[in-house]
Structure 1
C-alpha cells in the first residue's frame, strides 16, 4: 500500500537557489492522488507558477478531472515568478531571458526530475504560461526545440521580437501548441501601453502554422485575467493528454 492516500493530492514546496539568476525560487509540486515513484508521470512546468495554483486552480482542476477519469495522472510544477523582474525574465528581449532559460533547463529540470518520477524525456515534459509566461514558453522551445515540444499558451504576449523569431524559424514541425485568447483582449494595458492581444495571437498562430507547427487554436469570450484562463484550464489539460497519446 502506497503511503499516499490514493484520493488525496499532495502539494510539496521547495526553495531552489539559482546560480544563473542569483536568487532563490520557490517551486510548488502537485503530485496526483496515488502517486507512486515506481511509475513515470508526464510533467507540466508552469511559469507564474504559484499563480497557476492560486488563481488558475490547476491542482484542483487536475484532481477533479482525474477523479472523473477525464485525464491520466500527471505531475505539475509551478515555478515562482520574480514579480520585479518578470519582464526581464519572460520578455522576448528581456535582459535575463537567457539566464532564466538556463535556470529552467539546467537547475529546475534536474532538481525536479531527479526527485520525482516524472518527465525524464521530452515526450513526457510540457510547459505552460499566460501572457509573458506564454512568450517565454515559446521562446524556450525555439532555443531548445527537443526539450519542450508541447506548450499551453494562454493569451500570449507575442510581441514583435518573438513574432520575428518565429518568422525566421524554418521548421517548427516538432512543436505542438494549444493557444487560447479572449475576444475582449483587444486593448490590454501592459507596461508598454495598450496592446491588442487578440491580433497578436492571430498573427502568431498564422506564423507558427506557416512554419509547420501543429496548433490547436481557440478564441473565446474573455478578458486578460486569470478567471478566463482558469475556465480554459480543463480543455488545456485534456488537450495535453490527447496530444500526448497521439505521439
Structure 2
C-alpha cells in the first residue's frame, strides 16, 4: 500500500510539474509580441524557443543573394526568448519567416499569413508611405466576389475573382474594367492576397487618384478550375510547372471571361473602357492577348513580363509577333506601359522587346526601378498603373 501511495504521489508530482512547465511556457508566450513596428520604423521580432540552438529570420527587406534574402541570426536571452530588431525600414508590406534549427516556421505570434505558390509567410506593414496603400483604411470599401463561369474552350467550370468599387451595388452607372493577371504559380487569389488589390483600389478611388472600376482577376493556369483548395476533388498541392501553361489556351479562351463579365456586370463594353495587365506570366498573357485581340483593349500593362514562349516547341499562336504588333499599332491604343526591376532575370528579354517595339514604331511608356522579380515591385506598379486608366 505504501508503495502504491508513493507511486501515486510521484505521478501527481510529475503531472504537476508538466502542467507548471506548460503554464510557464504559455505565460512566457503570452507576454511576447511579434512583430512590433516601432515609431522609428524599426521592427522587433521575438520567439520563445528555449531548446533551440539557432534561430534565423528571413524577410523581404533584407539584401538578396540571387532569389533568397540573406538571413540574420536572432539573439537568445536567459529565458529562451530569441529576438532581433531591424534597422529603420521604408514604408511597405514585407513578408518573413523563421528557420529554427533548420526547420522553416512561421511566426507563432503573428496570425497574419499569406501563401505564395506553395509557401506560407507572415506579413507586416510599415506605415507612413507606400505601405499605407496596402493597409485597410477608413474609406468607402468595394466588394470582392468569387464567381464561376463556363469555359467551353477548356470544358470546365472555372473560378475568377472580381472586385467591384464602393457604391456599385446602389449605382446604375456602367464601369470600366481592368483584367488583372497573375504570374506563374499564382492563381485567381494572388492579386488580392499578395497583391493587396482591394486595399489599393479602395484607397486610390477614395482619394480621386483612380477612377472607379471593376477589376477581374482570372486563373491563368488553364489546367485548374480554381486555386488549390477551392476546386472540386482532392486537395491538390500548389505548384509552378502546371499543364497548359503559356501554350496558347489562355489567349484563345480569354473572350469567354470578357463575355461572362459583360453579361453579369454593369460594364462599359467599349474598347476605351477596357484594360489588361499582369505580372511575369500574366504580363506574357497580357502582351499576347492584347495583340491577338487588337480591337479589345485600350490600356496594356506589362509588369516584369515574360516575353517569349517557354523553350521547346512554339505554338503557332506565338508566331508572327511583328505582324500582329503592327496591327495593334494601326488599330490604336491609349497606353502601353512596361515596368521592370534592374535585377530582374527577365530584364534582357524586356530590353529586346522594347527594341522591337521601337523598330516597329509602337509607342510605349517604360518604367525601370531598383529590385528584382518580387511582389513589392508589382504592388507598386499596380498602384501607379491604375491611376493612368480611363
Question: TM range, normalised to the smaller chain?
Answer: 0.7 to 0.9
The aligned counterpart of 1:70 is: 209
- Aligned pairs (5 A) from 1:215-226: 215-226=364-375
- Aligned pairs (5 A) from 1:81-230: 81-82=220-221, 89=244, 91=246, 94=247, 97=248, 99-105=249-255, 107-159=256-308, 165-168=320-323, 169-173=325-329, 174-175=332-333, 176-186=335-345, 197-230=346-379
Q: Secondary structure at the match of 1:214?
A: coil
Distance 1:134 1:177 in 2: 12
The Cα of 1:226 is off from its aligned counterpart by 1.7
Change (3 A) 1:47 1:89: farther
The aligned counterpart of 1:189 is: none
1:17 aligned to 2:173? no
Change (3 A) 1:171 1:103: closer
Distance 1:114 1:84 in 2: 24
Give me the CA root mean square deviation: 2.4
The Cα of 1:178 is off from its aligned counterpart by 0.9
Change (3 A) 1:237 1:90: farther
The aligned counterpart of 1:237 is: 386
Deviations for 1:75-131, whole angstroms, at most 9, x for unmatched residues?
10110232767776552xx1xx1x3223210x2111111111124121111111111
Distance 2:279 2:360 in 1: 22
Distance 1:221 1:158 in 2: 20
* 134-143 or 152-161: bigger deviation: 152-161
Q: Which runs of 5+ in 2 are unaligned?
A: 1-138, 183-187, 225-240
Distance 1:27 1:152 in 2: 20
Q: How many residues align?
A: 220
The Cα of 1:167 is off from its aligned counterpart by 3.1
Change (3 A) 1:163 1:83: closer
| TM-score computed with the length of structure 1 as normaliser | 0.80
* 131-140 or 154-163: bigger deviation: 154-163
Give the number of the structure with larger relative contact order, counting CA–CA contacts within 8 Å between residues 6 or more apart: 1
Higher helix share: 1
